[in-house]
Amino acid sequence: MRDVETRPRKYEWAIILAVFFASLPLILGFSLLILSSFSTDMVTNLDLKSLHFTIENWINVFQGRLAITGGIRTNILRITLNTFIVALGVAGIVTLVSTMAGYSLSRIDFRGRKHLMVLLLLLHAFPGVALIVGVYLLYRLTFPQSPEMVRFYSFFYVVLARGALEIPMSVWLMKGFFDTVPWEFEWSGIIDGASRIKVWWKIMLPLVKPGILAVALFAFLAGWQDIIYVRTFLIDQTLATFIEANIEAEYSHMPLIAAAGTLYLVPTIIFFITAQQLLLQGYSGGIKG
């Protein structure tokens, strides 16, 4: 019996070429962005004569200079730190909630379990922009009176709101990973006198590490690249809002913005290169219902 592993190798090249040509616009776009970050002028086509190599754009970015003339500066390290705070906060809250909820849905047959699982799928179907009016209403209703708390609250709220968008699908992914763990492992711990929480912490979580890492990675990237919720609720800037705010500014030097854009892409590229197998496990292992 033939399966996907025994298909003729000649078709593999056809598939690779099809994927390559479909990805070509993205590859060219990101390549031009990276080349422009090392040029005095924007590189807008494949004619490399327009590339005049310089690292001044990167020096200006790390010094916080927004223009090659004048004294307009910003604290780019602070903006990068803000981006990490949001991304790590989203990853933390999504991982915590999804590992606990995924375990409950996988192992405990409580009343309303199936309805809750359907509800999670429905919640995931709603795009974030469609929910932003209601989320903004909650933001205003819970806005702190103390001025000292406003900055902290904006970080807390954007992490909570952005994490809530990622939790439904993450719970489904984690449920799929917990479903792959045989019951015998869990029963052996319970028979030895361990509580359900201890079994979850000591036995189950180590067995679903790939799923936890995949969920954390997806959530981190969602928080890192978010712009709608960050722009709406966060007082401070992140790299996404910083680039968006300066693209159309009169004083902006576009190759410098290209350097900031490349800096913004670096964590995403690193994560996808180093975690390809993990992402595949997240998609394949976590979709078992």
User: What confidence tens digit (pLDDT) does each residue in 49-101 have?
Assistant: 777 888 888 888 887 776 655 556 677 888 889 999 999 999 999 999 999 99
Token pair 């999504």 in the structure block, residue: 94
> Mean pLDDT across the stretch 206-214?
86
76-236 CATH: 1.10.3720.10
Burial class (CB in 10 A: 0-12, 13-18, 19+), 174: buried
Residue 160 predicted with pLDDT over 60: yes
- The CATH 1.10.3720.10 domain(s) of the chain lie at 76-236
- How remote is the C-alpha of 103 from its chain's centroid? 23
User: Per residue in 174-202, pLDDT tens?
Assistant: 998 898 888 888 888 888 888 888 888 88
